[in-house]
Structure 1
Amino acid sequence: MDEFNGTEINFHCMYIPFCDARDCDRELYDSPVDCPDCNRGMVALHFTILILMAIFITMGNLGIILVIKRNKIFHNSFNMFKCSLAFADLLVGVLVVPSGAYETASIMMRSFDPTALNRTDYLIGKDVAMIRPDSMCDRIYQEDIGGPGMFLSMISVLSVMASIFHLVLLSIDRFLAVWCPIKYNQRKALKDKCAISMIIFVWLVSITLSVVIPMSLGQRHFIHGLSPAMIFTLKTSNPSTGIFYATFGLGLPYLALLGLNTATGSIILIKHRNLVRRSSLSPSLNSGGRRKDEVKATITILVMIVVFTLSTLPAMVAVTFYNGTEHKKKGDATIRSIIYSTLILLLVSNSAWNFIIYSWRNDNFRKALKNLFTRKQQRQRAIIRWKQLKCSVLLLSEEKRRRKKLIKLTEASNSYSSEKM
């Protein structure tokens, strides 16, 4: 072995499942994907899953944004929060998943560098794991310390932070809708300007926690890296930093969600009991329908919270406690890497669940989404545009006739006045 002349780094080498090329003989094989321990079929399946997830996340969240934008029935504070949440999820489908898959493909398919065999600048890991130059670990490390790796890691964290804070906004909206329904329907309980200000505040807080603080503290407190699931992730390397993020990024928002949804459910239950007591009075159809919509919207928020928790919490625990260099046996490391990758993919799938929940729980959204892609809706839009164009042409022609008539009257008046003189 060559003389060691490296530096200690805060880095964990996590390889791709079914492709453990850490000990690949670079003199016999051209690239990591050619190594005998790399199953090309399983790697191709992993790439296919990532591509399908990116397409579904992108198309689903674009559908949410377009439906809300084009239908006036959805122009309220509740759907404004939904639209902003869809944009946060859209970042994952457009940037995080495709970029992570592309970076992983470039790492695995790029040919080995023959000159790296004679270099002595070895890298040593946090757990005394030696990283050979131009190996899979060295390539992942070089990708991680670059600008794109750091940026994509922050975007993935930004999406998670924005999601949980938007769930708080949606819970606030539902609480106000149940607590003071008359003012809410008149848009006095939560005005549009106030909703926009709340959205801006949430994005500022999310950007501060996911971008500003990690960039200011640097690698002394954060590790950004390419995970086995081909997704860039960000984890804290300092216990105090981890406690700070667990408190302000997860703990307090979850307490707010618990308190708001408990209060909302209690108000709905109290209103229902009051109606039961007044059995002699039959409730109006409108109030009954409104209460049904309130209950349905509240249950939708609860479903979103449960799905968000089940998809993000296990992955966050795995990112916090799992270290790929701790497992020397290939069999044990392979199983743990597969579990870790599955949890990361489950985390990414959180960006697609909201579209499924809206389509399942909201009849109006489902109909509007169907009309968005049908020819009937396109024909109706074309007819409306044609009528608008026809009206504008008729108005122009009427204006021309009026002007001509005015000119003739003016000329006749002038000629009459001249003859009289």
Structure 2
Amino acid sequence: MLPAATQSNFSSETLMPIGTIIKVCGMVVLSISITVGNVLILLVFLGSKRFWTPQGYLKASLALADLAVGVVVVPYSVYTEIGIIVLGKDHKELNGTQEGAFEPCYIMGPLFAGCTFVSVTTIFLLSVEMSITVLKPLHKHLLVTKQRTVFLIACSWVLCFVLALMPLFFRQEINIVYNRCSMMCNYASRSSSSWKVMLIFPTFDFSVLGGTFAINLITFTAIRQFCQARTHLTHSTSQKKSCRPSFSDIKAAKTIAVVVLSFIASFVPIAVYVVISILGLECCQFTFCAFWILTSNSCWNVVIYSLRDKKFRHRIKELYTRAVLRRSGCTSGPKVASVGACVSVLKETLHTESS
């Protein structure tokens, strides 16, 4: 039997890596989900001209920003944590950096912040596009064009990354370090006078979210007015129908509600973290949850704006069926399988999907 003090030390040293390993496994799953989902969005966009619309360009921009988080930011955190667990090295020893030298965090921190800003700004532009579709359906093709959409996307990327890089101009007051609590590269204030710069990020996020909420409120009010107008017309005829918006209106309203609630729920903990860090306080578990809830939005955007789209799901099935036929030899070329074999492959594929 081990002494009680030895047992307590052993259990505390064992439970700490186990908790970290569970977090790292969750980070790996999240990275794979973000990467696969957003790669599918980009494949559908690049492979189908019918998705080359202003809304399609905005969704592709959103997917590209989320993909950067899943391919670069999250894997770097996984790499760092695995190195710390397995090799037992510090973050600076793991990356071979000395005090005052350039660190990868000076890339990862602004990249994560910039991609987050791009996601919020793109959601705002999608809401504007949806509002124009509802309020000005006859003028939509004149107001919303591909050229204007690409220009706005480029401006949003430049603005967001300039904003993300702004703290680097205050390196005497703000530093970017790897935080073991959040398991990410975070901005850290060196002096009490840097709180104004630190508040730029939540101010920008909530300003854009507030504008998005206001636009969506106007859109939803217009949908309700259209619903009441349809009800008034049906009452004047012999047919009496219930006051229900059309399917597209309901879908738009649901998308609006889900997106606004998800982003508000994600940015409120980050705002609280900024205030706590300015006050000099620290709560490790809260910091981890705040940053990784925000990171998970890169995965939820795929579900909200793409997987709920019937055309998108149909295109995914087309790509999957084409891949199955290519593997079975049912493609044009010198070795072409029989038509009966191709039909049987298709039947088997559809039967598997339905079951």
TM-score (norm 1): 0.65
Matched residue, 1:303:
258
Matched residue, 1:69:
46
> Deviation string for 1:233-253 (max 9, x for gaps)?
235561221343333x12321
Give the Å deviation of 1:373.
2.6
The question of whether the paired residues in 2 share the 8 Å contact of 1:304 and 1:357 is answered with yes
Q: Out of 32, 47, 50, which is 1:55 matched to? A: 32
Letter in 2 for 1:241: V
Structure 1 outlier segments of 4+, above 6 Å: 135-141, 382-386
The question of whether the paired residues in 1 share the 8 Å contact of 2:168 and 2:174 is answered with no
Matched residue, 2:215:
260
Q: Given the alignment of the two structures, is residue 351 of structure 1 paired with residue 298 of structure 2, yes or no? A: yes
> Deviation string for 1:37-96 (max 9, x for gaps)?
663333322221111111111111111111222233322111211110111111110110
Q: Given the alignment of the two structures, is residue 205 of structure 1 paired with residue 155 of structure 2, yes or no? A: no
Q: Distance in 1 between matches of 2:139 and 2:144?
A: 8
Identical pairs, percent? 24
Q: Out of 123, 130, 134, which is 1:174 matched to? A: 130
Letter in 2 for 1:210: A
Greater Cα shift, 357-366 or 82-91: 357-366
The question of whether the paired residues in 1 share the 8 Å contact of 2:24 and 2:78 is answered with yes
Q: Out of 42, 52, 68, which is 2:19 matched to? A: 42
Give the Å deviation of 1:111.
5.5
Distance 1:273 1:92, change over 3 A: same
The question of whether the paired residues in 1 share the 8 Å contact of 2:174 and 2:189 is answered with yes
Q: Distance in 2 between matches of 1:282 and 1:364?
A: 36
The question of whether the paired residues in 1 share the 8 Å contact of 2:195 and 2:278 is answered with no
Q: Distance in 2 between matches of 1:59 and 1:144?
A: 37
Q: Distance in 1 between matches of 2:153 and 2:238?
A: 40
Greater relative contact order (CA < 8 Å, ≥ 6 in sequence): 1
Q: Given the alignment of the two structures, is residue 84 of structure 1 paired with residue 61 of structure 2, yes or no? A: yes
The question of whether the paired residues in 1 share the 8 Å contact of 2:80 and 2:91 is answered with no
Q: Distance in 1 between matches of 2:27 and 2:147?
A: 38
| Structure 1, unpaired ranges of 5+ | 1-34, 113-134, 284-288, 328-335, 387-421
Matched residue, 2:317:
370
Give the Å deviation of 1:357.
1.9
Q: Distance in 2 between matches of 1:138 and 1:322?
A: 26
Q: Distance in 2 between matches of 1:142 and 1:150?
A: 14
> Deviation string for 1:288-322 (max 9, x for gaps)?
x9953244134213312211221232134225414
The question of whether the paired residues in 1 share the 8 Å contact of 2:109 and 2:185 is answered with yes
Matched residue, 2:108:
152
Q: Out of 216, 225, 232, which is 1:277 matched to? A: 232
What secondary structure sits across from 1:147 in the alignment? coil
Letter in 2 for 1:368: R
Give the Å deviation of 1:256.
1.1
Q: Given the alignment of the two structures, is residue 228 of structure 1 paired with residue 186 of structure 2, yes or no? A: no
Q: Out of 136, 149, 155, which is 1:195 matched to? A: 149
Q: Distance in 2 between matches of 1:163 and 1:136?
A: 29
Matched residue, 1:217:
170
Give the Å deviation of 1:153.
0.8
Q: Distance in 1 between matches of 2:65 and 2:99?
A: 24
How many residue pairs were aligned?
A: 316
The question of whether the paired residues in 1 share the 8 Å contact of 2:35 and 2:67 is answered with yes
What secondary structure sits across from 1:181 in the alignment? coil
Letter in 2 for 1:196: V
Q: Distance in 1 between matches of 2:323 and 2:51?
A: 21
Distance 1:378 1:203, change over 3 A: farther
Distance 1:258 1:36, change over 3 A: closer
Letter in 2 for 1:193: Q
Letter in 2 for 1:346: I
The question of whether the paired residues in 1 share the 8 Å contact of 2:209 and 2:260 is answered with no
The question of whether the paired residues in 2 share the 8 Å contact of 1:314 and 1:343 is answered with yes
Give the Å deviation of 1:339.
3.2
What secondary structure sits across from 2:139 in the alignment? helix
Distance 1:193 1:109, change over 3 A: same
Q: Distance in 2 between matches of 1:259 and 1:320?
A: 25
Q: Distance in 2 between matches of 1:143 and 1:355?
A: 40
Matched residue, 1:405:
none
> Deviation string for 1:217-244 (max 9, x for gaps)?
2241354433424222235561221343
> Deviation string for 1:104-137 (max 9, x for gaps)?
333344357xxxxxxxxxxxxxxxxxxxxxx779
Q: Distance in 1 between matches of 2:284 and 2:210?
A: 32
What secondary structure sits across from 1:36 in the alignment? helix
> Deviation string for 1:5-24 (max 9, x for gaps)?
xxxxxxxxxxxxxxxxxxxx
Q: Distance in 1 between matches of 2:299 and 2:228?
A: 37
TM-score (norm 2): 0.76
Matched residue, 1:183:
139
